[in-house]
A and B are shown apart, each in its own frame.
Chain A
Amino acid sequence: MIQPDTWVEIEQTILNAGERAPQVPEDTAKTPLWLKAKGWLLAPGSLGAQVEIVSATGRILRGRLVAVNPSYQHGFGRPVPELLPVGRELRALLEENNGQ
């Protein structure tokens, strides 16, 4: 059981597949529109259960608990072999025929 006041992430389904706006492309129309939001858990809850949270602005949001103390997963990726030599190449071009 996850304790109240824990920083968590919830997910809400906003529109089911089939209820999407008429202008969305076919591939998108086949998927639901969902939303993720973070906040502090209001009452004890467990992963996957419907819970309530208080958001950063103080709103109460309801949704399925999907993560506890959610972390940022984005980073700098892997080194890109196609970009690694660019600096050296450009500096060499800059130094070519210098002084002319």
Chain B
Amino acid sequence: MDNSYQAVMSRKVEIMKQAVGFDYGRFEQSRLAFDYEAMMAATGFGLAEVRSVQGQTGVGQTPMLELRNITCLARKLAPPGYGARILLKDEASNPSGSFKARRAAISVYQAKQMGYQGVVAATSGNYGAAVASQAAMRGLKCIVVQEVFDSQGVGQPEILEKGRACEAYGAEVLQLSVGPELFYVFLRMLEETGYFNASLYTPYGIAGIESLGAEIAEQTLSIARRLPDVVVVTHAGGGNITGTARGLRKSGAVDTQIVAASVDLSGLHMASDQDFNRKSFTTGHTGFGVPFATWPDRSDVPRNAARPLRYMDRYVTVTQGEVFYATEMLAQLEGLERGPAGNTSLAAAFVLAQSLPKEQVIVVQETEYTGAGKHPAAQLTCARDQGIEIRRGDPRDSLAGRSIIIPEHPRLMGVRDCHLNDLRASYIRNALKSVEVAELSRADVDFLLADSRADLDLLTTIATQNGVRIAASEE
């Protein structure tokens, strides 16, 4: 068989079909539109089934903790009467140390049900350890393909640790130098082994996160006697926000504001060898957050079940220095030592709480485990060795890839809004580019409005700018 890059990439559709065992074709409505809810329903995993499967491997039912000291600090900085109660969902308590165990639990269960002998995942994040851990529990083989090194062989400490964790659970780990061709290696693995594609983005993976939203609604009600007013979600590929929001809605939290938060890494190219080790976060950042919001179908499955623009009510960014500072705050004031990337939402929630009335409740939706490599000291040491300036000051003066500024005082922490209409416009442009049609049908229009939550005016404007007509209404 021809295993050249071009030959393998040209077999992509076939390889994927074999490796996912899910017929995406039956949900397609036009070249642009597909029936998202029907696709999610077709998994057969409602909330009850998800919880039952996760219960079998000890996933979920993680503690919800009240951050009393951090709330108190936020109130000291807030105007009188302001400073919402901050609750934190301690997802580090999952078997593999992050909420990713929820996604992996359903994917690996499904792989086993369908008779696959093993699973393959392409991830440099916590998901690798999650899949490896679940595969160990279910007796399946596991291969994790990671992007780890720059061309000089220098590895990101955070990713080296994630690789170690995968190996600890018995997985085979393939560690690559920088580049999007990781996908080619991933496809070759799927083809050679015949294993299941435990993609982050299948409907199974996303259904697995719905239990997190449901638990947040139930536990907030139990602790605070009200549903959460705001839930802040660390946003990268979009699954976290999609699954959490769906679970919240299914549990009656329909008015809860869903805020996405990412670390601002604008200006750094994600596939650049030189930029690779100039970023001090390898997930939860805008390098994934923006492209996956504006074009979810860039993923490793035909239709991405993570559709973040459907669910985010607001999107804010914070700086790397603010997240390291929030990580230190969590350890020192609350006695909880947790991994930095998961604290992106904590950094944002600390700021947002100060603009909400005291009676309200804001939930930090996850934590992740910490350890060698995945730690502020490890990540900042790596940054310093790469020549990045680290100092105290005003984090707004920092520039990703050049400087990391640890706030001089908590009042210097802030959030910057990433305007949703800009993302929606970009999404629509990407959608139009993907099909190159002269006219959008009514089905296309309905799909684009639901998928982006743009209004018809915005859609019409972008379509017109791109020389695309909109079909006349039937009325």
Contact = CB atoms under 8 A, between A and B. Distances in A.
Interface stretch (B159-167, B225-233, B307-315, B434-442): B159-167
A23 B179 CA distance: 10
A6 interface: no
Interface string B144-170: 000011010001010011001001001
B328 interface: yes
Given A59-B172, A83-B376, 4 more contacts: A15-B179, A83-B406, A87-B332, A90-B410
Contacts of B329: 86, 90
Contacts of A73: 160
Interface string A73-84: 111111110110
- Count class of interface residues, chain B: 35 or more
Given A74-B161, A87-B328, A23 B271 contact: yes
Interface in B155-210: 155, 157, 160-161, 164, 167, 170-181, 184-185, 192-193
Contacts of B284: none
A93 B410 contact: yes
Nearest to B329: A90
B269 interface: yes
6 contacts: A21-B180, A21-B184, A28-B271, A35-B185, A74-B157, A76-B378
Contacts of B377: 76-80, 83
Given A56-B172, A77-B379, A93-B73, A86 B5 contact: no
B391 interface: yes
A77 B371 CA distance: 11
Contact of A80 (B161, B380, B409): B380
Interface in B306-344: 324-325, 328-329, 331-333
A31 B177 contact: yes
Given A37-B174, A94-B73, A24 B179 contact: yes
B373 A74 contact: yes
Given A74-B378, A77-B377, A94-B333, A82 B176 contact: no
A58 B185 CA distance: 18
Contacts of A56: 167, 170-173
Contact of B175 (A35, A39, A93, A96): A35
B378 A57 contact: no
A27 B273 contact: yes
Given A21-B179, A25-B269, A91 B332 contact: yes
A30 B271 CA distance: 13
Nearest to B324: A83
Interface residues of A, number: 45
Contacts of A59: 172, 192-193
Contacts of B174: 35-37
B150 to A, nearest CB: 8
A87 B273 contact: no
Interface string B376-395: 11111110000000111000
Given A27-B272, A91-B332, A82 B406 contact: yes
Contacts of B141: 57-58
B275 to A, nearest CB: 8
Contacts of B331: 87
Nearest to A28: B273
B373 A75 contact: yes
Contacts of A79: 377
A33 interface: yes
Given A27-B272, A57-B143, A59-B193, A21 B172 contact: no
Contacts of A94: 69, 72-73, 76, 333
Contacts of B376: 80, 83
Contact of A74 (B185, B372, B392): B372
A91 B333 contact: yes
Contacts of A64: none
B155 to A, nearest CB: 7
Interface in A38-82: 38-39, 55-59, 72-80, 82
A74 B176 contact: no
Contacts of A23: 180, 271
A90 B375 contact: no
A91 B328 CA distance: 12
B274 interface: yes
B332 A90 contact: yes
A32 B377 CA distance: 31
A74 B179 contact: no
A72 B406 CA distance: 29
Contacts of B170: 56
Contacts of B390: 80, 82
B142 interface: yes
Interface centre among A30, A33, A37, A94 (most CB of B within 10 A): A33
B83 interface: no
A55 B376 CA distance: 32
Interface in B76-134: 76, 118
B189 to A, nearest CB: 9
A75 B381 CA distance: 10
A78 B157 CA distance: 13
A19 interface: yes
